[in-house]
Amino acid sequence: MGSIIGTMGCSSSVADRKSENVIRAAILIQKWYRFTMARLEMRRRYSLSIFQSIEYADEQDQLQLSNFFTFMLDHCTHPDSVSQIFTSPSAPQVVDEDLCLKEFEKKIDVPDSYYGPRLSFPLTVEDANALLHAFRNEQLLHARYVLQLLSETRRVLKEMPNITHLSTSYSKEITVCGDLHGNLDDLLLIFYKNGLPSEQNRYVFNGDFVDRGKNSMEILIILFAFLLIYPNDLHLNRGNHEDYIMNLRYGFTKEVSKKYKDHWKQILCLLRDVFSWLPLATIIDSKVLILHGGISDTTDLDFLNALERNKLKSLMRPPKSVKERQDQTEKRIPTTKPSKHIANQHVAGKTQHNSSSGFPEPSGSNLPPDPALKEWKQILDILWSDPRSQNGCTPNKSRGGGCYFGPDVTAKLFERYNLKMLIRSHEFKPEGYEISHDGKVITIFSASNYYEEGSNRGAYIKLNPELIPRFVQYQVSKFTRRKNLRERVGTIESSALKSLREKIYAHKSELTSAFAQYDVNGTGRISVNDWAAAMESVLQLELPWRMLRSQLAQMNPDGEVDFMSCFYDLKMGQPTKEAQPALAETLCRYRKDLEIIFNIIDKDHSGLISLEEFSQTWRLFTSHLGIDVQDDSIDKLVLSIDYNKDGHIDFSEFLEAFHVVHRLEKKATS
Amino acid sequence: MPSATAQHSSRPVFCQCHSLSGLVADIQRKITEAFEVFDRESNKTVDVREIGCIVRSLGCFPNEAEVQELLAQIEVEEPDGFVHLKNFLPVMTRVLLDKRFRPIPEDVILHAFEALDENKCGYITKEDLVKHLTEKGEPFTQEEMEDMLAVALDPETNTLHYRDYRVKLVVDETKTFPFNV
């Protein structure tokens, strides 16, 4: 593999020799280039892998939360206990059904200083254009109009069946869009490329309009406005994120509370209703089924069409009938088996007992079938399932809800209902779409740059009257100069690694114990294999640890890993003297869960809960998780946070103290 | 550290700290890891078109023809064109044990660029670059060519100063990817 100048036969001319050199040089350069491109592709892939694993692990945490709610219901019958709030539907103030447009007009004043759009009902295209224009300029729609819009939307949605039937007979093409997740730029780009909704330009939006992105509210406003203007031409399906408990975790609730400081409670309350009235699916020409997640081997479209969809405000809490709860008081301890995920007994464990669809069912699952439970499972399956290439229907272990369904399940459903295609969303796809099950199943994902700038394209489907799909891809770009591939991958990679490091930090004590078990001589170093094994078993993320090692931990010249080095440049947000390290770490790891729980406890949305409520909840939560925390340690900590000494704490402030900060980043910004 | 020479492909490689079986196990773990990154559905298969990428990200430096030869040795499941890990593993393990397709030293790449630089002035024009790389050797696709130009070309002069480009490439690689067997 040495030099370019090879030995030549004496009959070759100089020109021949030269051109041979050039060819060899070209091959070499091409080889080298493809080598670097391959490595770049590997980095891109594992970065996306990191994002996706963490996202799914997060969704599993959400499942644990529901499990916790069930646990609380099982364990707390004391009337004064905190869990009381779970026994009644925790709707703080149900917005009166009779509250109409005029009521909002009377009750909420719009000041003259407001220069945003002023909507007048019934809405017209002018109103829609005004909204688009305002949102492009980052204006907010006034709370009064939001409430009016939502109340009108609810009124219109109520008239619709669970499954909408469309026909392509008179229109040109129907456009189907997937997850938007609060990315307003993507929606605007779609409208720019494909035109605004109208009688001649019909749209189906397949769920997950909210959470994660920062313009979930604006997306809803636009979609609902067009729904009111063109109720026969713009159709919405419910996604798994159109769920108030998901919104507590994934950012939508926070967005609303920040944008609408005076009216967010009302808005969220009304939204909870509106979401539950969103149709579950759309069928085009009786041949193309469009729904958010997927199907299972028990999916029953007739049953789905007949149930009362608005009863299920959130899928995070399986329904409990009165009878079941009475039975529960006899069987005190639910039969939880420790999950195989527990690495070390003395640190936090997770327990779960799974039904066939994955989500925890109330312990009385061997009781006669409960119709409410069947309804819940049917909807859960269509909103949470993912297609896979293996046959069969198995619980969706990545997400903890719904199932994985194979080509045989699809084929059977198609045969039963005489269908030709299934269009679904719910899963991130680097190209914005993917075709599976031999062309029968299409995944459409419309949020470009979902994980990070440059991570993926978005796409939408154009379905013509022959029901042949055509795909249009796009990618929103903030930068006027197109970043080259190397820069894009660099951005994605550092963002992914940052998330991963946070997760590592949140599991510091578990990891330290796991490492120590391999470090027999107490040298502080272990082999790469042992390090990788420890990381995998504690974090439960299937990632290429050996490949990532160089980014996460230092290695000495002997080829051994200095395992504590992975914690070096990370620390807690605010150093809290009163918190012992173990306690602080637990709070850090479960920050999001606690935020959700506290939000639910805080019935009047004041942002405060009493010390008593806090302590009780904390005790229940840690006992459910099997964490051993000293009783008085949390009390001391809480007292130190109660600055006013008035018996209440601002839990957002409290939790804010336990987020992970990257030291290097902090240095850069300070 | 004693090492096998390329010609004796059946002679095992030893190093001071590993037994052969330990080394093989290590290699197989690395191969599996790289493979699984491309395994979309976690069912131990990858699209056959990704094999070149996987081989290269394991530190190997084959040209396209060599990738095809390698593929010929691996059983590909018809009709989808998927490769199963169990078929890939033995072939790839052999490749790594034998240290085939080793990377080329940086100065050799430099010579390659020099060979394209007819006037020996230290840079190559965009036109010449495109001509050579899209018409000769194992030609670039349009996308590959555009991407290389995006990184390497000086937009003001439309030339490639190969000494700089080479440095960029090499530095990036050693900084972020010491995944060496």
Predicted local distance difference test score (pLDDT) of residue A356: 37
Q: How confident is the model at residue A662 (pLDDT cuts 50, 70, 90)?
A: low
Q: Name the residue of chain B whose CA is nearest to A494's CA.
A: B176
pLDDT at residue A171, rounded to an integer: 63
Digit-coded pLDDT (tens) for A76-95: 544 344 444 444 343 444 44
H helix or E strand, kind and range, residue A561: strand A560-562
* pLDDT tens-digit map of A331-374: 333 333 333 222 222 222 333 333 333 444 444 444 456 788 89
Please say if the pLDDT value at position A326 is more than 90: no
pLDDT of residue A244: 85
pLDDT in tens, B99-132: 888 877 777 888 888 888 888 888 888 888 899 8
**Structure-token pair, residue A452:** 């990070």
The pLDDT score that the predictor gives to residue A66 is 64
Beta-carbon separation of A43 and B176 below 8 A: yes
| Candidate list A235, A241, A263, A437, residue with the active-site label | A241
Confidence of residue A284 (pLDDT cuts 50, 70, 90): very high
Higher-pLDDT residue of B35 and A650 is B35
Catalytic status, residue A662: no
pTM as predicted? 0.76
**Interface contact A542, partner B, CB < 8 A:** yes
Q: Of A79-88, A129-138, A510-519, which gets the smallest average pLDDT?
A: A79-88
pLDDT at B53: 92
Residues of A in contact with B29 (CB under 8 A): 529, 532, 546
**How near does any CA of chain B get to the CA of A542, in Å?**
9
Which amino acid is it at B1?
A: M
Q: Flag whether the ipTM exceeds 0.85.
A: no
Cα separation of the two ends of chain B: 14
CA atoms within 13 A on the CB side of A638: 23
**pLDDT higher for A71 or A360?**
A71
Q: pLDDT at position A271, please?
A: 93
Chain B residues with CB under 8 Å of A22 CB are 115-116, 132, 136
DSSP for A59-93?
Answer: HHHHHHHHHHHHHHHHH---TTSTTHHHHS---SS
What is the signed CA dihedral for A42, A43, A46, A50, rounded to 10 degrees?
Answer: -170
Higher pLDDT, A435 or A3: A435
Residues 6 or more apart whose Cβ sits within 8 Å of residue B144: A33, A34, A37
Q: Is the pLDDT of residue A515 over 80?
A: yes
Q: Which residue has the tokens 């070390």?
A: A344
Residue A20 confidence (pLDDT) above 60 = yes
**Longest alpha-carbon distance in chain A:** 102
Q: How far apart are CA A291 and CA A313, in angstroms?
A: 18
A546:B140 CB<8 A:
no
Confidence category of residue A385, pLDDT binned at 50, 70, 90: very high
Helix runs in A352-405, H state only: 371-384
